[in-house]
Structure 1
């Protein structure tokens, strides 16, 4: 539920214990949750920039970290983004940082 234009911390969107499989290490899970802010709705409202924006012609990349983002990855490809895919989850930035870094560098090199 959005309050005053802000989304609640993302971990509250799921049932208790749902993050245990994604972040099995209790210390790591605690650290990630402690650093998770509430975000303004406008941060997540626009998934992909629309054509015509000032930076629309800039080099763009999209990293798809889970199957749940397949449709967004396809939209990104249609808009000319370099799309890189990795079978992981939303927390791959935390749980698999080296693989995400390699994927990002791969997109930037092309």
Structure 2
């Protein structure tokens, strides 16, 4: 018998940004009849290895939710799946975690990019300032919308990226992939090669914030595909 789909969804944001990045999609999922949670990871003060614990501490008692991780939040899902008895996982425009073992928050190329950013009082600029003058204005042209996105961005310390979390085995869990930006096409292809259901949107990495209706619809369709397995 196919497993009944979950009605509770936990959306896990990247610690490089804030929960505002996923709040519009959480609201769109609520309108579709799901109960959505967007736990806040206080990225400036929570070490990478402690991020799964911070997510769990911010949640009410749940059993069997669907986990949706966005960007670097994807790497946290295996560590959350066991404690929450997750029904399944959807990786949203991020790296698919390794099968197990120590997992840093960034690959070497991106880590080198971060370490080259200017440091002020021991902290990096906010994520929105990493892409040069006008970078965020290109992604989010409207000033007020941009300010809403930037309101809860943390300022990480460079050494935050030197940490690892321990990824437990997770290949036995249901999983799907949602690609929203061209640069993650290789991850969508890897997911498809694993036999996972995959959805692709012709958008940007910030689709969960900028196009919540389309993102929520794609998540809903992935849930339907996973429930049929």
* TM-score bucket of the superposed structures, by smaller chain: 0.7 to 0.9
| 2:178/2:199 contact within 8 Å kept | yes
In the alignment, structure 1 residue 75 sits paired with structure 2 residue 190? yes
For residue 59 of structure 1, the aligned residue among 156, 167, 174 is 174
Matches of 1:7 and 1:82 in 2, distance apart?
37
Matches of 1:72 and 1:7 in 2, distance apart?
28
Query: Any stretches of 5+ residues in structure 1 without a counterpart?
Result: none
2:139 alignment counterpart? 22
TM-score (ref. length: structure 1) = 0.75
SS at match of 1:63: strand
Task: Give the ranges of 4+ consecutive aligned residues of structure 1 lying more than 4 Å apart after TM superposition.
Answer: none
Using the TM superposition, give the Cα deviation of residue 55 of structure 1 relative to its aligned residue in structure 2, in angstroms: 2.4
TM-score (ref. length: structure 2) = 0.39
| 1:64/1:73 contact within 8 Å kept | yes
Matches of 2:149 and 2:169 in 1, distance apart?
34
2:200 alignment counterpart? 85
| 1:7/1:41 contact within 8 Å kept | no
1:97 alignment counterpart? 212
SS at match of 2:138: coil
Matches of 1:65 and 1:36 in 2, distance apart?
21
Matches of 1:20 and 1:70 in 2, distance apart?
24
Matches of 1:41 and 1:55 in 2, distance apart?
23
Matches of 1:41 and 1:61 in 2, distance apart?
27
Using the TM superposition, give the Cα deviation of residue 17 of structure 1 relative to its aligned residue in structure 2, in angstroms: 0.8
Aligned residue-pair number: 102
User: What is the alpha-carbon root mean square deviation over aligned residues?
Assistant: 2.8
Q: After superposition, what is the alpha-carbon deviation per residue over 1:28-51, rounded to whole angstroms, capped at 9, x for unaligned?
A: 1011112223565389x89xxx9x
Greater CA radius of gyration, 1 or 2?
2
